Chain A
Amino acid sequence: MKVLVPVKRVIDYNIKPRVKADGSGVETAGVKMSMNPFDEIAVEEAVRLKEKGVVSEIIAVSIGEPKAQDTLRTAMAMGADRSILVETDVVTEPLSVAKVLKALVEKEKPDLIILGKQAIDDDMNATGQMLAGLLGRPQATFASRVEVADGAVTVTREIDGGSQTVKLALPAIITADLRLNEPRYASLPNIMKARKKPMEKITPADLGVDMTPRLSVVSVAEPPERKAGIKLDSAAELVSRLRNEAKVI
């Protein structure tokens, strides 16, 4: 069976984002970019399913500027077989991305679509659910365990206060949470091999998708700074301060 894995190029999670001086957004020029960490987990899960013999082909997709092809190369170095770059310089939103993915799903007919639960730039946590809604297909978000058997997938999901298990008929949409797996690092030979794997380049217009954002950014600002307090020497002093000064115990 075929798996589609969408991946997003974002500011590396180790870099502290800086708000642009004019308040129009966050500075990305000259900043280290990487694959969204939740998408790495999604790619890893697809690769593990292929290693188990459940999956025969993994297609990685990225929607964004031409440099997103670096992210697709990373996905292929991890084990994706081929990739599709949907080039656009318009700001991507979960709704427009889900529409692009819907068109690709209808074309490629994958049995599973595995996405990261959230991109760490816009923190929307929405694309997988929206794709499932647009396709009218079952969804399992925040997956911590995925098992494919007999034309269905059983997913354990992280919920508030515990976990939930659901069973979905294929094709289905899964979004990956932190505990699903630990993504591998691409080895040098695999990075070299990935250069030769096929990458198709198309545009949203080729798929008939209007990318016009529904949300306009009025401004982006730094959050209010919290001031550092004082260092204390003992537990006794801390308890006394909490009781008499802060009055919280």
Chain B
Amino acid sequence: MTVLVYLDHEGGAIRQASRSAIAAAARLGDVDVLVTGPDAAAAAKSAAAIPGVKKVLQVTDTTGNSELAEPVAALLAELAAGYTHILAASSATAKNVLPRTAALLDVQPIPDIVAINDADTFVRPIYAGSALATVRSADAKKIITVRASSFDPVASEGGNATIEEVALPAGPGGSTFIATELSKSERPELESARVVVSGGNGMLNEENFKLLEPLADRLGAAIGASRAAVDKGFVSNEYQVGQTGKIVAPELYIAMGISGQIQHLAGMKDSKVIVAVNKDPEAPIFQVADYGIVGDLFTILPQLEAELDKAG
């Protein structure tokens, strides 16, 4: 069996979540990968160095078409003939493209898998992680997205795959890429950060939310947010941790003023150590927190920074 993994990269650097998808794919068979975009050549070079990758398919595209689901889904459907499974990390890109590919192949996709039982049987969360469903696919080909936090990423160096250029089909047309706007941040990527500091409703407003920044800087942490904080406009929704946002599993997750609604817990409960600060002793977040402090976060936050500084 050979498996194709559609990789996400940023300016040629393969995202860690995609290396987790490769780890999942390696459980199913030999692994080929696909990279697309203006920096595809650089990405292909990085991908070729990943141990276990046999072949890298590269689509160099400067037209913006590789940003669109229509042509990329058509490409994956064309390539599918040579593969038993098509996988990708559960990113916004993969969720845009893979279901469309599945439709073209008359396949029901299997999103967000957290475990592989065999080549046809997978475990995936449903109801925002309130339940885990084990499902068996009757389709000849499987189209799968992988929840990165459930699979340890493969190494980024040590492999030596061949690289092959492939052409992007035109697709059905009718869609035009206009622009991408990325928010710039010096902080680590939320999904691969070792430490995440998240704020919720308890941060009260946009200005107060910024009070988390010094703590995050001190810990080299990414900043996250609950859906309540995003809905109230404290931060934009790329910060959202939860079932409908990012799924994270850092070594340390610090929840400040987050009550711990089920859909938030679904996005962070696999973190190694969870710290919660909340003024409500009954907040559900304390049921999953390893260490909790009941109190006013605006008092505790500066104390926490001072203690960290003191300890060096």
Contact = CB atoms under 8 A, between A and B. Distances in A.
Interface residues of B, number: 91
B62 interface: no
A16 B133 CA distance: 16
Interface string B169-200: 00011111111111100000000000100000
Contacts, number: 262
A188 interface: no
A160 B293 contact: no
Given A142-B92, A160-B238, A249-B219, A167 B134 contact: no
Given A168-B175, A169-B174, A218 B136 contact: yes
Given A123-B127, A249-B308, A231 B292 contact: yes
Which of B127, B130, B243 counts the most A-chain CB atoms under 10 A from its CB?
B127
A19 B252 contact: no
Dominant SS among interface residues on chain A? mixed
A163 B181 contact: yes
Interface stretch (B25-33, B38-46, B68-76): B68-76
A215 B132 contact: no
Contact of B99 (A133, A163, A222): A133
B100 to A, nearest CB: 4
Contact of A130 (B68, B100, B287, B306): B100
Interface stretch (A56-64, A73-81, A190-198, A239-247): A239-247
Interface stretch (B52-60, B103-111, B157-165, B202-210): B103-111
A205 interface: no
Given A129-B103, A133-B100, A93 B108 contact: yes
Given A138-B175, A168-B175, A220 B133 contact: yes
Given A17-B127, A215-B136, A221-B132, 17 more contacts: A13-B263, A95-B107, A129-B69, A129-B96, A129-B97, A138-B175, A172-B175, A215-B135, A216-B136, A220-B126, A223-B129, A232-B291, A236-B303, A238-B275, A239-B308, A242-B275, A246-B290
Interface of B: 8, 10, 67-70, 73, 91-93, 95-104, 106-112, 121, 124-139, 172-183, 195, 219, 227, 230-231, 237-238, 243-244, 251-252, 262-263, 269, 272-275, 281, 286-294, 300, 303-304, 306-308, 311
